[in-house]
């Protein structure tokens, strides 16, 4: 039986893989929003469209549930890598993917592709590369006024933009209240992912995540990478650490050359076929 989609989650961050080599899918804003809707569609935190095969290379397109296209997703890359193994597209333990946020190198660490390590590349704190409004600078420990509060923020790009906010205490309620306001703040011309960060000790941090285009999220690989790099840049943690999130834990290693390696799990959930009625709705 041919399937239209495969569903996986990475620490509760769930994605649908839609393979354009077997399923025709026009990734319009309306179609993506419908498929990701948890009441009227299949339900997910996003769609991974691929593999798009280009002269022997594999490209991945990543869509947020609001229909926007993301540059990079750490959890999405791990999920997509497992699909590539299960579908037989890759046989090697290490391979490379192309994303809007750049090239990423993947390493499968076990026989079932349940634990995957990703070289997320290097980070930048430069405002014009993230981007952040204002003069060209490193955005490190700057004040950001949001309604009735002023946060100290450190902003970073790891192929996609992040705003990291260290605080003595964090909560899901805090992320839900201030996350959307920071995501859409005029300071960030292309919106931004938001991480509220609590340092537990030199080798452990905890984050609550508001994801650009997706909302409150149980876990995120790129958010883990960005938060770890921001905390390390601020001198709060060691280069190898564990990031704790509501959905679980991800290991981050910041190499001397600046490359960030993220290691975490992937679990299969379901695979299925769109009903004809759903197909008609997806076409508008």
Q: Which domains does the chain have, with CATH numbers?
A: 5-121+267-282 (3.10.310.10), 142-253 (3.10.310.10)
The pLDDT score that the predictor gives to residue 56 is 87
Q: HSE-up of 199 (CA within 13 Å, CB side)?
A: 16
> What are φ and ψ of residue 109, in 5° steps?
-100, -5
Residues 20 and 49: beta-carbon distance below 8 Å: yes
The pLDDT score that the predictor gives to residue 2 is 78
> What are φ and ψ of residue 81, in 5° steps?
-65, -40
The pLDDT score that the predictor gives to residue 101 is 92
The pLDDT score that the predictor gives to residue 108 is 98
Distance CA 238, CA 240 (A): 6
Residues 144 and 112: beta-carbon distance below 8 Å: no
Residue whose pair of structure tokens reads 């399923």 in the numeric block? 23
The pLDDT score that the predictor gives to residue 199 is 98
The pLDDT score that the predictor gives to residue 127 is 98
The pLDDT score that the predictor gives to residue 18 is 98
The pLDDT score that the predictor gives to residue 1 is 62
Q: pTM for the full model?
A: 0.93
Residue among 249, 267, 242, 221 at smallest CA distance from 118? 221
Low-confidence ranges of the chain (pLDDT < 50): none
């Amino acid at each position: 039986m041919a399937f239209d989609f495969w569903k996986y989650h990475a620490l509760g961050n769930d994605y649908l893989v839609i393979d354009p080599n077997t399923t025709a899918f026009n990734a319009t804003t309306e179609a993506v929003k419908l498929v990701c809707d948890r009441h009227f569609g299949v339900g997910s935190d996003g769609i991974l469209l691929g593999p798009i095969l280009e002269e022997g290379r594999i490209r991945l397109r990543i869509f947020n549930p609001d229909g926007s296209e993301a540059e990079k997703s750490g959890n999405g890359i791990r999920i997509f890598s497992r699909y590539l193994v299960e579908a037989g597209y890759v046989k090697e333990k290490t391979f490379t993917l192309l994303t809007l946020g750049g090239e990423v190198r993947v390493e499968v660490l076990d026989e079932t592709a349940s634990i995957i390590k990703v070289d997320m590349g290097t980070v930048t704190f430069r405002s014009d590369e993230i981007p952040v409004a204002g003069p060209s600078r490193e955005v490190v420990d700057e004040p950001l006024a949001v309604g009735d509060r002023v946060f100290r923020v450190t902003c970073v790009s790891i192929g996609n933009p992040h705003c990291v906010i260290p605080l003595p205490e964090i909560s899901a309620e805090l992320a839900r209240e201030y996350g959307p306001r920071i995501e859409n703040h005029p300071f960030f011309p292309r919106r931004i992912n938001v991480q509220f960060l609590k340092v537990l000790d030199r080798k452990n941090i905890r984050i609550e995540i508001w994801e650009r285009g997706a909302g409150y999220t149980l876990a995120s690989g790129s958010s883990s990478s960005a938060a770890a790099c921001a905390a390390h840049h601020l001198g709060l943690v060691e280069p190898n650490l564990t990031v704790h999130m509501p959905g679980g834990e991800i290991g981050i290693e910041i190499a001397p050359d600046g490359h960030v390696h993220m290691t975490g799990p992937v679990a299969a959930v379901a695979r299925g076929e769109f009903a004809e009625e759903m197909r008609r709705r997806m076409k508008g």
